[in-house]
């Protein structure tokens, strides 16, 4: 069990012509028993961070501490963290049971104890029935479980999971999400999960650290990231289909403050609680953001309205993604799959003014 | 200009992969093949391209039998999931390669490459080599090379599956509007059902041996011909509740084999099941169960929350009622704690019924 603290952590890969600053001044605390996801696009520094925590990579500057104790100089074995990788790395000639028992054998545990541990982990992961099979006989999902089991069996201080689900089919992935969550609940171990897939991160983690360009952008719960993104990057990266952004300006009319989208008749109403802050700004230019799922096709009291025309209706089974056009600007909204919306059809969309996000167009930071 | 026809195509290795597969893709049609990984989708594409020799049957492009014609003379352009770019060539030269092979003049090559690069938003990368661009950019380069070729048939193997969500949505929209694709026959392979539903004029769901169902997005999602198809489309997966029909006097009721969930069958549902003998596998899509706050749905049961996850635009609730665990699609703004009681409303009219033995849709 461990609380993991990263303080002013930096990683620079030196190179002859141009060294790469892969992790910049990272400060992050993972509480004991917490499930934290490191999320970001490829090349954001999440894997370098992970490798430094595990001890597979040297630290350029800064401190990594487990339960307040500096571990910078410790080897991976001494740190006692268990890692499961994207590739399963199972021994092909060992049975599942032998693969699971291997880390224990290395540590010199007796046969009886190894058997007990294998049984315990197999039960937890629901792989009791395949213990005598070889990896080649297993499906991708089963191999993934065995690989996880081998990490879990060591009873480490913390678990590090690196893109463990990126090879799985969507259906399997979904099952594994709930499975991993269940396993985490029953073990209550500190877990750091690295992924580029926001759905995995949002579903699994207590808190999510969003990284981009070597810098931690935001560290918070799903709710924080969705409703209070610190900047445009986070608002853009989190959410699928992607957030709609518009360049616009703050204007005032009889009804109060409006956010007019440049070069179109489209305007959004910001939340009343934010109008004062917006009015006080010197600059009138803003970036407006609203998520596709925050549009509704059903009117109800208190909602604002925009009118648009349907450009494209993508039926996806559970929902439809509708691409719309209004005054020369296109944007997307989620709609019920039952609506038959044809190209060119006029449509009214409704939204809550509290779902309108406003960003500074220069610094891209969240205004309100 | 060509329509693509496959007639009784067979192909197998240690097991039959394509078993007398017949399919016609019309000129201008965007046909999507979706199915689990390893089922033979890529093999089918490779047979069309001529990279695999079919064991039996015929491949016909625009009325011309090309079964014995080598790949480079079929005029089909294919993207590969592995990109297969030339490492020593720039992005520009990679995209231009099919045109060079045809000895097109320099000015026309430039024009065609720039046009497609602009479309795929890789204009700024044209001077780089494949190892200097990201995976997503490689994928777009490979796609560019295919689009520029102006072939009779486009064969696209998972062309956008490795891209991040933002570019995937962007390219999906472009596939809808690309006029180039509307002139010829396109066969597009994906394991992602949402991509298939979004893009396909028609969709073929691939199972063991070939296409299990062919139809429009709505047909295959709302009227799957078998539990296999229903299972493959939709996320989270469709709930499957094995049930027994019981007839008490005039009433027709479905009772779950495990637990004590039951549904009274009325109206059209009753008509479908009236003549059915034996057990029924009931398929309930997660979006056809609601956490009931009003009384709008017909049947409401008390349930208990097992797990809940707020994902992106949706929330997924797993709740137990009458000893049966069900997945329910909710708003992500909800919050449910394990053990909490909830009331579930069922859209019984939307239920699907499958033969318990063969998995055939009883409504179809």
For every one of its 364 residues, what pLDDT tens digit does chain B have, with 9 covering 90 and above? 589 999 999 999 888 899 999 999 999 999 999 998 788 999 999 999 999 999 999 999 999 999 999 998 898 999 887 788 999 999 999 999 999 988 899 999 999 999 999 888 889 999 999 988 877 788 889 989 998 988 889 999 988 877 778 888 888 888 888 877 778 899 999 988 999 999 999 999 999 889 999 999 999 999 999 999 999 999 889 999 999 999 888 889 999 999 999 999 988 888 889 888 889 999 999 999 999 876 555 678 899 999 898 887 889 999 999 999 999 999 888 889 999 999 999 999 999 999 999 999 998 7
Tokens found for residue A88: 């399963």
The helix (run of H) or strand (run of E) holding residue A203 is: helix A198-204
Say what the pLDDT of residue B182 is: 79
User: In sequence order, which ranges of B91-203 are alpha helices (DSSP H)?
Assistant: 91-101, 106-119, 135-148, 165-177, 193-199
Task: Give the pLDDT confidence of A84-136 residue by residue, as tens digits.
Answer: 776 667 898 999 999 999 888 888 889 999 999 999 888 888 889 999 999 88
CB B214 within 8 A of CB B35: no
Tokens found for residue B284: 């309930």
Is the CB of residue A18 less than 8 Å away from at least one CB of chain B? no
Alpha-carbon distances of A336 from A62, A289, B95, rounded to whole Å: 50, 22, 39
For A227, name the nearest residue in chain B, comparing CA atoms only: B333
Q: Is the pLDDT of residue A38 over 90?
A: yes
Say what the pLDDT of residue A84 is: 79
Tokens found for residue B6: 């496959």
Contacts of A226 in chain B (CB under 8 A): 332
Judged by CB atoms closer than 8 Å, whether chains meet at A202 and B314 is answered as no
Contacts of B309 in chain A (CB under 8 A): 177-178, 181, 203
Q: Which of B131, B135, B164, B326 to mutate to test the interface with A (most CBs of A within 10 A)?
A: B164
Q: A10, A149, A4: which is closest to A84 by C-alpha?
A: A149
Q: B304, B338, B307: which is closest to B322 by C-alpha?
A: B304
Distance CA B15, CA B210 (A): 12
CB A306 within 8 A of CB A348: yes
Judged by CB atoms closer than 8 Å, whether chains meet at A318 and B235 is answered as yes
Cβ contacts of residue A79 below 8 Å, gap of 6+? A54, A55, A66, A71, A157
On the question of a cis peptide bond just before residue B18, with omega within 30 degrees of 0, the verdict is: no
CB A64 within 8 A of CB A4: yes
Is the CB of residue A296 less than 8 Å away from at least one CB of chain B? no
Which residues in B have their CB inside 8 Å of a CB on A? 36-37, 134-135, 164-166, 169, 172-173, 176-177, 191-194, 197-198, 217-218, 221, 231-237, 285-287, 307, 309-314, 318, 329, 332
Distance CA A265, CA A288 (A): 14
CB B4 within 8 A of CB B185: yes
Tokens found for residue A15: 């190179």
| HSE-up of residue A202 (Cα within 13 Å, Cβ side) | 23
Contacts of B218 in chain A (CB under 8 A): 315
Residues paired with residue A315 on neighbouring β-strands, in sequence order: A320
Task: Give the pLDDT confidence of A235-270 residue by residue, as tens digits.
Answer: 999 988 999 999 999 998 888 889 999 988 899 999
Tokens found for residue B185: 């026959």
Pairing of strands B76-79, B153-157: parallel
Contacts of B162 in chain A (CB under 8 A): none
Q: Which position has the token pair 């027709």?
A: B252
Tokens found for residue B269: 């549902």
Q: Which position has the token pair 């064991």?
A: B55
Say what the pLDDT of residue A253 is: 82
Cβ contacts of residue A282 below 8 Å, gap of 6+? none
């Amino acid at each position: 069990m461990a609380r993991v603290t990263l303080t002013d952590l930096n990683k620079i890969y030196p190179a002859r012509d141009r060294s790469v600053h892969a992790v910049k001044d990272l400060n992050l605390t993972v509480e004991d028993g917490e499930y934290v996801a490191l999320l970001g696009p490829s090349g954001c520094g999440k894997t370098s961070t992970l490798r430094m925590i595990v001890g597979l990579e040297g630290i350029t500057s800064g401190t990594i501490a487990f339960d307040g104790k500096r571990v910078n100089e410790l080897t991976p074995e001494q740190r006692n963290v268990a890692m499961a990788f994207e590739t399963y790395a199972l021994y092909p000639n060992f049975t599942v049971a032998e693969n699971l028992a291997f880390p224990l054998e290395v540590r010199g545990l007796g046969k009886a104890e190894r058997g007990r541990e294998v049984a315990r982990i197999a039960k937890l992961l629901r792989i009791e029935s395949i213990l005598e099979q070889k990896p080649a006989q297993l499906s991708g999902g089963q191999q993934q479980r065995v690989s996880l089991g081998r990490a879990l069996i060591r009873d480490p201080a913390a678990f590090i999971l690196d893109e463990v689900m990126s090879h799985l089919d969507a259906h399997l992935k979904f099952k594994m999400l709930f499975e991993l969550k269940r396993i985490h609940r029953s073990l209550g171990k500190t877990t750091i999960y690295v992924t580029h897939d926001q759905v995995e991160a949002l579903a699994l983690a207590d808190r999510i650290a969003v990284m981009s360009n070597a810098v931690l952008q935001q560290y918070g719960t799903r709710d924080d990231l969705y409703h209070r993104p610190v900047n445009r990057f986070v608002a853009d990266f989190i959410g699928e289909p992607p957030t709609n952004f518009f360049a616009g300006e703050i204007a005032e009319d009889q009804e109060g403050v409006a956010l007019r989208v440049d070069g179109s008749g489209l305007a959004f109403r910001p939340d009343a609680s934010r109008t004062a802050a917006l009015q006080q700004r010197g600059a009138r230019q803003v970036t407006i953001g609203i998520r596709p799922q925050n549009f509704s096709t059903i009117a109800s009291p208190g909602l604002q309205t925009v009118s648009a025309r349907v450009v494209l209706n993508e039926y996806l089974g559970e929902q439809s993604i509708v691409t719309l056009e209004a005054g020369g600007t296109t944007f997307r909204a989620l709609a019920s799959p039952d609506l038959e919306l044809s190209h060119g059809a006029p449509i009214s969309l409704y939204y809550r003014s509290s779902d309108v996000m406003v960003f500074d167009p220069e610094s891209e930071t969240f205004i309100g | 200009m060509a329509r693509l026809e496959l007639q009784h195509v067979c192909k197998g290795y240690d097991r039959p992969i394509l078993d007398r597969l017949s399919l016609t893709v019309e000129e201008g049609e965007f046909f999507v093949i979706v199915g689990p990984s390893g089922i033979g989708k890529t093999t089918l594409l490779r047979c069309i391209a001529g990279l695999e020799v079919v064991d039996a049957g015929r491949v016909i492009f625009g009325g011309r039998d090309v079964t014995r014609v080598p790949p480079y003379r079929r005029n089909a352009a294919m993207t590969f999931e592995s990109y297969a770019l030339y490492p020593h060539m720039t992005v520009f030269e990679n995209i231009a390669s099919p045109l060079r092979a045809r000895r097109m003049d320099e000015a026309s090559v430039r024009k065609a490459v720039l046009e497609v690069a602009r479309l795929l938003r890789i204009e700024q990368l044209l001077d780089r080599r494949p190892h200097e661009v990201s995976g997503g950019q490689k994928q777009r380069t490979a796609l560019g090379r295919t689009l520029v070729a102006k072939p009779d048939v486009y064969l696209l193997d998972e062309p956008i599956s490795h891209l991040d969500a933002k570019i995937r949505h962007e390219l999906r929209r472009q596939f809808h509007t690309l006029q180039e694709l509307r002139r010829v026959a396109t066969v597009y392979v994906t394991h992602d059902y949402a991509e298939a539903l979004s893009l396909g004029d028609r969709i073929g769901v691939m199972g063991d041996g070939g296409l299990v169902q062919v139809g429009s997005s709505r047909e295959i999602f709302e009227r799957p011909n078998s539990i296999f198809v229903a299972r493959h489309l939709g996320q989270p997966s469709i709930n499957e509740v094995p049930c027994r029909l019981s007839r008490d006097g005039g009433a027709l009721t479905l009772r779950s084999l495990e637990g004590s969930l039951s549904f009274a069958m009325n109206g059209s549902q009753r008509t479908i099941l009236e003549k059915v003998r034996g057990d029924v596998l009931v398929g309930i899509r997660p979006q056809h169960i609601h956490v009931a706050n009003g009384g709008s749905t017909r049947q409401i049961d008390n349930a208990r929350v097992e797990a809940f996850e707020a994902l992106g635009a949706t929330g997924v609730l797993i709740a137990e009622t009458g000893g049966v665990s069900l997945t329910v699609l909710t708003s992500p703004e909800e919050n449910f704690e394990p053990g909490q009681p909830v009331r579930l409303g069922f859209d019984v009219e939307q239920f699907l019924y499958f033969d318990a033995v063969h998995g055939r849709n009883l409504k179809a």
